[in-house]
Structure 1
Amino acid sequence: MSSHITSSASSQGPSGGVALKDLPKSWNFTANLPADSAFPSPAISHKTPRDDLGPRMVKGALFTWVRPEEAVDPELLGVSTEALRDLGIKPEEAQTDEFRQLVAGNRLLGWNEDKQEGGYPWAQCYGGWQFGSWAGQLGDGRAISLFETTNPDTKTRYELQLKGAGMTPYSRFADGKAVLRSSIREFVVSEALNALRIPTTRALSLTLLPHSKVRRERTEPGAIVTRFAQSWLRIGTFDLLRARGDRDLVRKLADYTAEHVFSGWSSLPARLPDDQQDTAEPPSTPVEKDTIDGPTGLEENRYARLYREITRRNAKTVAAWQAYAFTNGVLNTDNTSLMGLSLDFGPFAFLDTFDPNYTPNHDDGMLRYSYRNQPTIIWWNLVRLGETLGELIGAGAGVDAAEFVEKGVRQEGADELVSRAEGLITRTGEEYKAVFLEEYKRLMTARLGLKVHKPDDFETLFSELLDTMEALKLDFNQFFRRLSGVSIKEIETEEARKEKAGLFFHKEGVVGDEAVARERVGAWLDKWRTRVVEDWGAQEVTAQAEEERQAAMKAVNPNFIPRSWILDEVIRRVEKDGERDVLGRVMKMALNPFEETWGGDREEEERWDKKGDTALLTAAKKGNKEMVTLLLESNTDIDISTRNKYNQSPLTVAIEEKYWNIVKLLLKERGRMSGVDEHFAWVLGNPGGTEECNGKWKEFRLSFECVVSP
């Protein structure tokens, strides 16, 4: 078991953690919000046959009491010690049977079986807008929350939840299960994002259910991820209440969010001055709950401040996604956290080659959730929240009037209410943009090793660098890491800068004319060098300052990110080959992304912290057809600017990308040329079909005719 426990460089808090039995537990969510009337108490739900707790419509409630399904012979595959630390649990607890049974859903802490009372698990009810269309009731279809716990040292409260623990009333047409493949992905990326300091939900453990066979496109092994967050509330939680016209519950949920999810009404942001509505930071003065601030027609009450807090949090998170090139892939409102956490990981990916139009979602043909569109779509989701809170926001100073609370706004006051709500939502949109840009500039400034951001930096450094990356198809995160090791003295002359430019190219070369590429990167390095000298030295940068700058850059520019092809390899090795230690090794790298080495399998580490193209071509040279196919099908290490075409086979993709050595390998595996013409025909009929493709087609045909001749 111990070999599967993943570790990080972080240390335990002052107490070193507590045992599970001593961990503080609470059920604030279920104590303050209405339960499903079909199962009004834990005891009634507990007595109900598990199969009777399946899908149906739930109204007038925010959750249903429901216990996890029993797991037979669960195998604990991995535990994050970073997660243990943040929860306040002793590391050695992960070795106990009680822990293993808890994270498999077989142990209910807080529930007294004999007395049929105590704290009990639940599934949340919510709805959502998916791809711009209303989807109706959704909810925790395969997630069940166990309890809330407060870290004894930090006093931070988290809600512990099992994903893949069985059917709930919100499972719709699904089975409540999670497959090992997606569970490994969520386990790794949750902790990886946290290590990159990107707000995210977390993952404590990963458990294999060896007797659970889950039907998807194929039958796959089942698994459970034990995850946690300060809150699992989403914009979709409010969406469903608005769709059903439940204004009383909208208000109740808003009150709960401010009082129990955030730190109380007085912690919400004060109103921005009229001439500073696009300012990133509001006044720090605490605002009392009943304060009304602002001119007539735009008065902010406490619900307007709540809306702004949720908006500000999401703005900072999406800025971090953009700064580290993370794409969620499915940014529906049910996947947008009220706390601004990265949430519900499906077809996510980090960009490899920089392509602003990239989306990891095969179903997103319109690129709605592409990297470029993430800031816009999060604001779209926040506008939906503003519409739900619109009555409360628009009421202004009259929000607590008895008649308004009971009946809502009178007809004669409706226009004023709507005007105020629209004005405040628009104003909040300006704040969203300001907060996003400020956070993005802060992160990018740090990634470039600069001490302060100057007005010209956005255009001359940020935008120009991204344009260069896109044009030359450079690897996004690898560029910053390699830049971290560049000495200013190494790029003092134009020729030196052109020579150094090759450091950022793929091993196989660069797109287009190499001399032009070197000149373009060299010109950018000159501008970057000038700014570094401005920040770190008057005329020149001292050796000590250079050392400090490089260390600062390496502390924010990861040497490892969990690229999709790496996760695909880990999944294959864990699921098909029965390896277990590989999961621990990749988690160690994910938890410590800024390290130079991790003390594991050296060949593996060197391969994983390099660009995917290198792994692809290395596999081809070694004749590893399975790995070549895996990398091509993962769609992560080749140009993905026209995403939909990659529904084609690996052979078609290899032809399209002109990876001729891979084409040869795949043709050799086929042992025939028949049926291959169609792949070349598809490519030749599209913009990628060049004379080179036509020539190679003839070359391969001739080669195969020689092979099959008598």
Structure 2
Amino acid sequence: MDPLLADETATVNLGLPWQEGFAGLGPAFYTELAPTPLAAPALVSLNEPLARDLGLDPAQLASPPGVAALTGNVLFEGGRPLASVYSGHQFGVWAGQLGDGRAILLGEVQTPLGPQELQLKGSGRTPYSRMGDGRAVLRSSIREYLGSEAMQGLGVPTTRALSVTGSPQPVRREEIETAAVVLRVAPSFIRFGHFEHFSSREQYGELRQLADYVIDRYYPACRGCERLAGNPYANLLEQVSERTAALMAQWQAVGFCHGVMNTDNMSILGLTIDYGPFQYLDAFVPNHICNHSDESGRYAYNRQPNVAHWNLFCLGQALLPLVEDQELALAALESYKTVFPREMEGRMRAKLGLQGEQEADRQLIEDVLQLLAADRVDYPIFWRRLSRYVAGAPAEEVRDLFLARERIDGWLRQYDERLPDDRNTAARRMLATNPKYVLRNHLCELAIRQAKLNDFSAVEALLRLVRAPFDEHPEHEDMAGFPPDWASHIEISCSS
């Protein structure tokens, strides 16, 4: 048999019950098709803790049949692979029909974590690939794998990644690279763009079917809720708005830049989804643009909260045929303006180790962010050093980060006055809030360079760190330091 072709009769039994899930919506929502096999697949990394949490056997997944299934060369027994169709706004412009151009949903399984969808990314062309090849490369797959687990380690809602498999099969990007596949896990991969698709085509029956599915599966409290005139679709819009607002506060607090916040990259469950040109801030530059393709800076770090709100308006417009009242839809979106600043202030108070709320806290937060921006201070290192300062380390550890010593000294005096008497408790909370390790671009780049030489040890080391980013890990102290000068020249784009 041709080694590039899968054995269509072969299957791997995960030992978990499959259920219909998204596939039950019907053929208007997807195209059923099998993944396209890759030549000579090999395991790059397996997320064994996640496998065990899902009730899966890591040894089975790491076996040759398991690796073949993780790559899409054979199917999981009971799965029903499909590519879903959606539309969306990309960089603020209506792009029309999009869809899973290089992803295939294998199906939904019942796990100890609840129902979870399994999806392959990089598994070949689909009817929605447009001009693409349907593939992912090793570089981008490692970034997605580590990126999603880094967010999980930080406590930020996210899709997960179970595995990366690689192949020597060539893929053309800016240069010739090798192919890889990520197996992603989430309760649902439904996006704002799924709703935009059916609304834009005036397929209101399918739009209602999709909204009812999402409400019944993930937001059942929207039915029977008296808020917003008891309208379940307005309640859905409000709930998604509030989850998205909370997610944006978490992104901003940890210094995360998504890089491509198109409406088709926004999760209906408020999860971080689609790790492409993402980055964690090194220097605190509020208008930092992490996506080399984003020439207008639409998705700069400080614009993310407003872009999320704009995307929610697009979702609201898509749901309007169901809500049937524009004022009601606008009222559903209003909660974003309340939830985001409240969540943001709460996250920043936690980073500062403050208990309770005081009127002056907002100014204290704004002042320190202005100081960080003025001197382009390393964002994660500042917060970790401030945590150590509260624990009793010398103030010089913080002061040495700033050129404007007098200004930071003045801020520290105000901060000391606001800290609780029990500084040890505050410090413990801060050290559990402000990570020592973040997935910086240069760390990813170094791991990718080794992986291209078939050495995956740096990937595994980073995976261990991002799973427990608040721990000390003294053996990896170098990974918690300042980025090298060359890190600022790393370019990441929509192909990353």
Q: Answer yes or no: is 1:242 the counterpart of 2:113.
A: no
Deviations 1:3-32 (A, max 9, x none): xxxxxxxxxxxxxxxx9532122221112x
Are the equivalent residues in 1 in contact too, given 2:43–2:165 (CA < 8 A)? yes
Are the equivalent residues in 1 in contact too, given 2:103–2:122 (CA < 8 A)? yes
Q: Answer yes or no: is 1:34 the counterpart of 2:26.
A: yes
Deviations 1:253-281 (A, max 9, x none): 11111112x052xx23xxxxxxxxxxxxx
Structure 2 counterpart of 1:573, one-letter code: Q
Superposed displacement of residue 128, structure 1: 0.7
Superposed displacement of residue 246, structure 1: 0.9
Counterpart pick for 1:23 among 3, 12, 16: 16
Q: Answer yes or no: is 1:84 the counterpart of 2:41.
A: no
Cα separation, partners in 2 of 1:71 and 1:501, compared to 1, 3 Å: closer
Partners of 1:453 and 1:102 in 2: CA distance = 52
Partners of 1:293 and 1:588 in 2: CA distance = 44
Counterpart pick for 1:570 among 425, 428, 447: 447
Superposed displacement of residue 568, structure 1: 1.2
Q: Answer yes or no: is 1:606 the counterpart of 2:491.
A: no
Residue of structure 1 equivalent to 2:489: 633
More displaced stretch, 238-247 vs 220-229:
238-247
Deviations 1:395-435 (A, max 9, x none): xxxxxxxxxxxxxxxxxxxxxxxxx32x2233233211211
More displaced stretch, 22-31 vs 185-194:
22-31
User: Which of these two proteins has the greater Rg computed from alpha carbons?
Assistant: 1
Are the equivalent residues in 1 in contact too, given 2:353–2:419 (CA < 8 A)? yes
Residue of structure 1 equivalent to 2:105: 145
Give me the CA root mean square deviation. Answer: 2.0
Q: Matches of residues 369-518 of structure 1 in structure 2 within 5 Å?
A: 369-394=299-324, 420-421=325-326, 423-459=327-363, 461-487=364-390, 499-503=396-400, 505=401, 510=402, 514=403, 517-518=404-405
Are the equivalent residues in 1 in contact too, given 2:240–2:269 (CA < 8 A)? yes
Superposed displacement of residue 532, structure 1: 1.1
Residue of structure 2 equivalent to 1:532: 419
Are the equivalent residues in 2 in contact too, given 1:207–1:225 (CA < 8 A)? yes
Are the equivalent residues in 2 in contact too, given 1:300–1:393 (CA < 8 A)? no
Structure 1 counterpart of 2:387, one-letter code: S
Structure 1 unaligned runs (5+)?
1-18, 36-60, 112-118, 269-286, 395-419, 492-496, 617-627, 637-642, 644-710
Counterpart pick for 1:314 among 213, 220, 244: 244
Superposed displacement of residue 378, structure 1: 0.7
Residue of structure 1 equivalent to 2:167: 209
Deviations 1:37-78 (A, max 9, x none): xxxxxxxxxxxxxxxxxxxxxxxx110101011223211011
Partners of 1:249 and 1:597 in 2: CA distance = 51
Are the equivalent residues in 1 in contact too, given 2:237–2:333 (CA < 8 A)? no
Are the equivalent residues in 1 in contact too, given 2:240–2:270 (CA < 8 A)? yes
Residue of structure 1 equivalent to 2:153: 195
Are the equivalent residues in 1 in contact too, given 2:279–2:440 (CA < 8 A)? yes
Counterpart pick for 1:338 among 257, 261, 268: 268
Structure 1 counterpart of 2:433, one-letter code: V
Partners of 2:227 and 2:390 in 1: CA distance = 52
Structure 2 counterpart of 1:95, one-letter code: A
Structure 2 counterpart of 1:128, one-letter code: G
Residue of structure 2 equivalent to 1:301: 231
Q: Answer yes or no: is 1:555 the counterpart of 2:452.
A: no
Are the equivalent residues in 1 in contact too, given 2:238–2:333 (CA < 8 A)? no
Partners of 2:77 and 2:42 in 1: CA distance = 23
Partners of 1:158 and 1:501 in 2: CA distance = 44
Q: What TM-score do the two structures reach when normalised by structure 1?
A: 0.65
Are the equivalent residues in 1 in contact too, given 2:151–2:158 (CA < 8 A)? yes
Partners of 2:60 and 2:366 in 1: CA distance = 48
Deviations 1:141-163 (A, max 9, x none): 000011211223x4x21100000
Deviations 1:603-653 (A, max 9, x none): xx23321121xx33xxxxxxxxxxx4xx353169xxxxxx9xxxxxxxxxx
Are the equivalent residues in 2 in contact too, given 1:64–1:169 (CA < 8 A)? yes
SS class of match (2:343): helix
Superposed displacement of residue 300, structure 1: 4.0
SS class of match (1:192): helix
Partners of 1:136 and 1:452 in 2: CA distance = 47
Greater share of strand: 2
Residue of structure 2 equivalent to 1:408: none
Are the equivalent residues in 2 in contact too, given 1:160–1:229 (CA < 8 A)? yes
Structure 1 counterpart of 2:351, one-letter code: R
Partners of 1:445 and 1:293 in 2: CA distance = 30
Cα separation, partners in 2 of 1:456 and 1:26, compared to 1, 3 Å: same
Residue of structure 1 equivalent to 2:68: 101
Partners of 1:574 and 1:292 in 2: CA distance = 54
Cα separation, partners in 2 of 1:610 and 1:500, compared to 1, 3 Å: closer
Partners of 2:120 and 2:356 in 1: CA distance = 43
SS class of match (1:22): coil
SS class of match (2:301): coil
Q: Answer yes or no: is 1:252 the counterpart of 2:197.
A: no
Partners of 2:373 and 2:460 in 1: CA distance = 34
* Larger RCO (CA under 8 A, 6+ residues apart): 2
Structure 2 unaligned runs (5+)?
1-11
Are the equivalent residues in 2 in contact too, given 1:484–1:554 (CA < 8 A)? yes
Structure 1 counterpart of 2:176, one-letter code: T
Give aligned pairs, total.
482
Are the equivalent residues in 2 in contact too, given 1:326–1:350 (CA < 8 A)? yes
Partners of 2:53 and 2:151 in 1: CA distance = 15
Are the equivalent residues in 2 in contact too, given 1:441–1:453 (CA < 8 A)? no
Partners of 1:197 and 1:453 in 2: CA distance = 23
SS class of match (1:207): strand
Residue of structure 2 equivalent to 1:224: 181
Deviations 1:498-525 (A, max 9, x none): x45434x1xxxx5xxx4xx111111111
Partners of 2:391 and 2:132 in 1: CA distance = 57
Are the equivalent residues in 2 in contact too, given 1:20–1:89 (CA < 8 A)? no
Cα separation, partners in 2 of 1:440 and 1:632, compared to 1, 3 Å: closer
Counterpart pick for 2:86 among 117, 126, 143: 126
Partners of 1:147 and 1:482 in 2: CA distance = 45
SS class of match (1:64): strand
